[in-house]
Amino acid sequence: MATISEKILLEHLTDGQKLPEAGTEISIKIDQTLTQDATGTMAYLEFEALGIPKVKTELSVSYVDHNMLQTDFKNADDHDYLKSVAAKYGVLYSRPGNGICHQVHLERFAAPGKTLLGSDSHTPTAGGVGSLAIGAGGLDIALAMGGASFVLNMPKIVGVKLIGELQPWVSAKDVILELLRMLTVKGGVGKIFEYVGPGVKSLSVPERATITNMGAELGATSSIFPSDKKTLEYLKNQGRESEWKEMKADSKSDFSETIELDLSKIEPNVAKPHMPDQVCKVSEIEGQKVNQVIVGSCTNSSYYDLMVVAAALKGKKVHQDISFCILPGSRQVYETLARNGALADLISSGARILESACGPCIGMGIAPRSGAVTVRTFNRNFKGRCGTADAGAYLVSPETAAAIAISGIFTDPRKLGDAPKIPKPKLVIDDSMILKPPEDGSEVEIIRGPNIAPLPDLRPVEDTIEKEVLLKTGDNVTTDQIMPAGAKVLPLRSNIPAISEHVFISVDPEFPKRAKEKKGGFIIGGENYGQGSSREHAAIAPLYLGVKVVIVKNFARIHKANLVNWGIVPLEFEQATDYDKINQGDILVIENLRAGIKSGKVKITNKTKNAHFNVLCDLGEQSKDVLLAGGNIMYVKHNTSAK
C-alpha cells in the first residue's frame, strides 16, 4: 500500500529497496531535467566542469524564458552559449519565444510516473500530470544530467482531500491561495502534497498544474495529482497519449496527515503584500483602487486561463486607469488564441500583449509606477520583486484579474454575470522552436561571450573560523533579498564577481562592501531562511564575498541544499533564543568545525560577548561529506581522482 509519491520514489531509489522514515536521506534516479536561462547558464558551466561527454538522462531540456529583455549583449550572448552547449551535450533547446519552461514542459514532455529535476523552484508544475517534479539548484541539475542520483530527505506525504466542485468564477488559484492562508509559507517544508478525493475529477490538468506550481510557496518539496482520465484527455490533446499511465494512491490511510478542502466553499481569494500567505477574500478589500493588472506567469498563462480573460473582456474596454498586460505561457497558447480570435478580443479591449516569457514575474520590465497597486496572476509578491520598491503587489486568479481590469478596483469576479463556457482547444502543436541536438555533438563549438567569468575558488571546510557577523536578518528572508533578480542583475548570472556586488543590497546596501573589507564572515538569520527561488547564485555570490557559515533558526529546503553544494556551512540554533543574543558586528569563533559537522553539533563562542552556544548541522551523511569537501564539484572531483 502506498501513495503515488511513494510509488515513484520507490521505483527510482538508487540506494536501498524500501523507503525510510521521513527526514532520512535518500537517493533517487532522475529521468528528466529542465533548466531556464537565469539558472541554466551556471548549470551548464558546472556540467562542463564535470568533463562528461553527453547527458545521461532520458530527457534534458534547456529553456530560454527569463532573461529575454535584451538591452545589451549579455543576454543574447548567453542565449547562444545555451544553444551551443545544448547541441554539444545532447540537450533539447527551447528557443526564446517558445514559452515559459513549466508551461512548455507540461504541454510537451511531462509524463506520469517520471521524476523531473529542474533548476527552478516551480518545477513541481509537472505534478499536474502525475510527475514527481522537484526544484533544485543548478549544480544538482548538472550532476543529474551527468547520471548522478539526486539526494534529498525523505518527505512526509500529506494527503489533500478535495470534495465538491468550484463555483463559477472561482478557480484553482483560489484553491492554492486558500491552502497558503491555512498553512503559511512554512507549512509545506519537508512535505509532498498529494491531492486525492472526488473533487480531483472536476479539475483539468492546467488547473491542477496551477495548484502544484504554487506548492512551492508553501515550501513543499513537491506536489502531485493522480494520473486519471483527465490526464489522458490532456495528453491526447497534445498528441502524447502513448505516455499516459494511470497512477493513484492505494489508500487514504497511507498519508502521514490529511487535509480536507471543500471546493464548493472556496471564494475568490487575494494574497496581499508582501507574502503569498497574506490571503483574504477579494470581497474583503472590494472597492480599493488598482493601477496595474497583469495576467501570465508559469502559474496562470494556460489556454484556459487566457480564454477566460478574453471571454470576460470581449466587447468591453479596460478601465482608463488600468495598465493591463497579457503574457501567454507558450507559443502554443499564443498561436491558438491568435487563430481562434481570442487574441483579437484581448487587443480590442486595450490589453498590452507581451511575449511568451516570465517577464514582469521576475522584475524583467513592466514595473508599475511608484506607490502603485499592481495585481498579478503570478506566484510571488515579495517586496520589490515587481521592480518598484514601494509598490504593493497582490496575487489573484485570472478571473479576478479580468474583473479588476474592467472596473479599475478590486472586484469579486462573481459580479461579472454568467461564467463563460470555454470551448475545448484546437491546439496548434508545432515543436519547430525546440531544437534537437545532433547525434554526435563532439565537434560543436561552444560560444562564450565576454560576460562569462570563472567560478569562485572552492576549498574544503576550514576547521577553525574566527570572523565577524556581517549581517543579522529576520524571518522568511527570501532568495530575492539575498540575490535580487530583475533587468539590472539577472544579465550578470554567468559573472559571479559582478553579480556579487548586489548581494543583500535590498536589505543592506553596504553588505557587499563590508563583506569584502572584512574578508568574509557569518550571516545570522531567523525562520525559513532562503525561501523562494531555487537560484543558487544566492549561495555562490555570498561564497565569493567570503561568507563561510550561515546560522539560522531553520532553512528553506532548496537554499540549504545550495549552501551545501557550494561549501557554505548551514547551521541551525539548538536553542532558538540564542538568536536574540547575537548582534551584527559580533566576533564568532568556531573550533573543531569539521568534527562538529560529522557529529551534527557545533559549539560556537561569541568572543564579543564572552558567551557560548550550540548549533546543529542537520544533514545526512552524504551531504556532510559533500560539505566537508568544499561542495559538490570538489566532492565529485575528489571521488573521480580517487577512482
Inside any domain, residue 305: yes
Range of the domain at 476: 465-642
Q: CATH number of the domain at 495, please.
A: 3.20.19.10
Inside any domain, residue 438: no
End position of a domain, from candidates 241, 265, 289: 265
Which residues, in sequence order, are bridge partners of residue 475?
A: none
Inside any domain, residue 248: yes
Question: If pLDDT is split at 50, 70 and 90, which confidence band does 321 have?
Answer: very high
Give the cell for residue 297: 506567469
Say whether both 279 and 181 belong to one domain.
Answer: no
Say whether both 478 and 491 belong to one domain.
Answer: yes
Among 551, 596, 601, 548, residue whose Cα is nearest residue 571: 551
Say whether both 362 and 226 belong to one domain.
Answer: no
Residues 376, 380, 385, 559: which is the catalytic one? 380
Inside any domain, residue 431: no
Inside any domain, residue 256: yes
Residues 66, 122, 240, 557: which is the catalytic one? 66
Query: Quick check: is 533 catalytic?
Result: yes
Q: CATH number of the domain at 166, please.
A: 3.30.499.10
What is residue 483's DSSP assignment? Answer: S
Among 295, 194, 199, residue whose Cα is nearest residue 249: 194
Distance CA 114, CA 139 (A): 21
What pLDDT was estimated at residue 643? Answer: 52
Inside any domain, residue 162: yes
In the chain, the number of structural domains is: 3
Say whether both 156 and 261 belong to one domain.
Answer: yes
Inside any domain, residue 448: no
Distance CA 333, CA 281 (A): 30
Res 642 pLDDT > 60 = no
Give the cell for residue 558: 532548496
Residues 79, 240, 493, 535: which is the catalytic one? 535
Say whether both 345 and 388 belong to one domain.
Answer: yes
Inside any domain, residue 423: no
Among 188, 166, 170, residue whose Cα is nearest residue 179: 188
Say whether both 227 and 286 belong to one domain.
Answer: no
Say whether both 322 and 260 belong to one domain.
Answer: no
Say whether both 566 and 620 belong to one domain.
Answer: yes
Among 606, 568, 573, 611, residue whose Cα is nearest residue 588: 606
Residues 5, 37, 62, 65: which is the catalytic one? 65
Say whether both 282 and 399 belong to one domain.
Answer: yes
Distance CA 509, CA 136 (A): 28
Query: Quick check: is 66 catalytic?
Result: yes
Say whether both 251 and 297 belong to one domain.
Answer: no
Mean pLDDT calculated for residue range 360-364: 86
End position of a domain, from candidates 394, 416, 438: 416
Give the cell for residue 468: 565577524
Give the cell for residue 77: 550572448
3-state secondary structure of 376: strand
End position of a domain, from candidates 383, 416, 449: 416
Mean pLDDT over each residue of the chain, to the nearest integer: 94
Q: What is the pLDDT of residues 524-533, one digit of tens each?
A: 999 999 998 8
Say whether both 532 and 400 belong to one domain.
Answer: no
Residues 37, 78, 120, 345: which is the catalytic one? 120
With a CB cutoff of 8 Å and minimum separation 6, the contacts of 179 are: 160, 187, 193, 218, 259, 261
Share of the chain above pLDDT 70, in %: 99
Which residues, in sequence order, are bridge partners of residue 323?
A: 292
Say whether both 473 and 582 belong to one domain.
Answer: yes
How far apart, in Å, are the Cα atoms of 232 and each of 5, 228, 235, 426?
19, 6, 5, 16
Res 44 pLDDT > 80 = yes
Query: Quick check: is 65 catalytic?
Result: yes
What is this structure's pTM? 0.90
What pLDDT was estimated at residue 457? Answer: 80
Mean pLDDT calculated for residue range 505-520: 95
Res 74 pLDDT > 80 = yes
Question: If pLDDT is split at 50, 70 and 90, which confidence band does 640 have?
Answer: low
DSSP readout, 246-268? -B--S-GGGSSEEEEEEGGG---
CA dihedral 45, 617, 133, 80 (to 10 degrees): -10
Question: If pLDDT is split at 50, 70 and 90, which confidence band does 641 have?
Answer: low
DSSP readout, 203-214? S-HHHHHHHHHG
Residues 302, 533, 534, 623: which is the catalytic one? 533
How far apart, in Å, are the Cα atoms of 340 and each of 295, 314, 344, 428?
19, 13, 9, 11
* H or E segment and range at residue 509: none
